[in-house]
Amino acid sequence: MNRTELVNLIRRKRSFLCVGLDTDPEKLPAHLPKDANGVLAFNKAIIESTLPYTVSYKLNIAFYEAMGMDGWKALQETIKLIPKGEALIIADAKRGDIGNTASQYAKAFFDNLDCDAITVNPYMGRDSVEPFLSYKGKWTIALGLTSNIGAIDIELLDLANGRMVFEEAIESLAKLGTTDNLMFVVGATKADYFDKIRAIIPEHFLLVPGVGAQGGKLEDLKGVMTNDCGLLVNSSRQIIYADGSEGFAEKAAIQAEKLQQQMAKML
């Protein structure tokens, strides 16, 4: 899915929502088995009910790997349930390794699982990111400034040149890709730094977690939008675990629609 297609999807659905499928077997509604089959049934219902309100699904790979082979199967099957072109499929894998290893991860997530996008970790620098960027029609989503407390340990350190580590990370990565194949993860809880980020990458799409449960506010994001939106806002637990009864999927849809309605006003 290229940028034009993504923007068209955003305009058609009047939404820039990304639903996070961080599906934990322990948190499934009581009527579903607490295993990979339960996860798949849950994801199927969530996808069917939320598809009108979302332009993206983000699969948190850790939750699937924690179930071993069965989890990998549930991951494969979940991806097949998402109608092609109706939502950007993001593998939230945060991979990062030297070139020949990064190529293997790209193969796993782009070729075999047919995801549209993957999140990557920039710590190891250029050769750990380039193999992902070499795929046509696929997106690489690099960590910029994350929403968690640990961001202070490395990302927010002051550099000798007066900038912070995350600024330099974003700038050096931006040189490797384009606004058509590279996005950045920026936490909604880091609103104080949005201006600095947009000064470096005025046009790149941002994938923003941290709205809702983690304390970030949707309205604070108005200032980082581009003319063609330039934003995907992720919500995971707030949507998928909105309700623990057999009516979980309807309640998830209500939560997704609520966010979509707010987003429609911002577009």
Residues of the shown chain interacting with its own copies in the complex, contacts defined by CB under 8 A: 22, 24, 60, 62-63, 65-69, 72-73, 76, 92, 94-102, 104-105, 107-108, 112-113, 121-129, 143, 146-155, 157-162, 165, 168-169, 172-173
CB atoms within 10 A of CB 73: 16
CB-wise, 82 or 164, nearer to its own copies? 164
CB-wise, 131 or 230, nearer to its own copies? 131
Distance, in Å, from the CA atom of 133 to the CA atom of 19, rounded to the nearest integer, reads 24
Shortest distance in whole angstroms from residue 135 CB to its own copies: 14
Tell me which residue has tokens 């009527």.
31
Sign of the CA dihedral with 64 first, then 1, 5, and 183 last: positive
Distance, in Å, from the CA atom of 71 to the CA atom of 78, rounded to the nearest integer, reads 10
Shortest distance in whole angstroms from residue 21 CB to its own copies: 12
Q: Which of 51, 38, 59 is nearest to 82 (CA)?
A: 51
- Determine contact, residues 186/195, Cβ cutoff 8 Å: no
Catalytic annotation on 94?
Answer: yes
CB-wise, 34 or 126, nearer to its own copies? 126
Shortest distance in whole angstroms from residue 147 CB to its own copies: 8
Shortest distance in whole angstroms from residue 125 CB to its own copies: 2
Q: Chain centroid to CA 258: how far?
A: 19
Distance, in Å, from the CA atom of 14 to the CA atom of 194, rounded to the nearest integer, reads 23
Give the DSSP letter string of 71-93: HHHHHHHHHHHS-TTSSEEEEEE
Q: Which two tokens stand for residue 22?
A: 């961080």
Choice among 27, 44, 73, 94 that is catalytic:
94
Element (H, E) at 232: strand 231-235
Shortest distance in whole angstroms from residue 137 CB to its own copies: 19
CB-wise, 142 or 256, nearer to its own copies? 142
CB-wise, 24 or 180, nearer to its own copies? 24
Q: Which residues are catalytically annotated?
A: 94
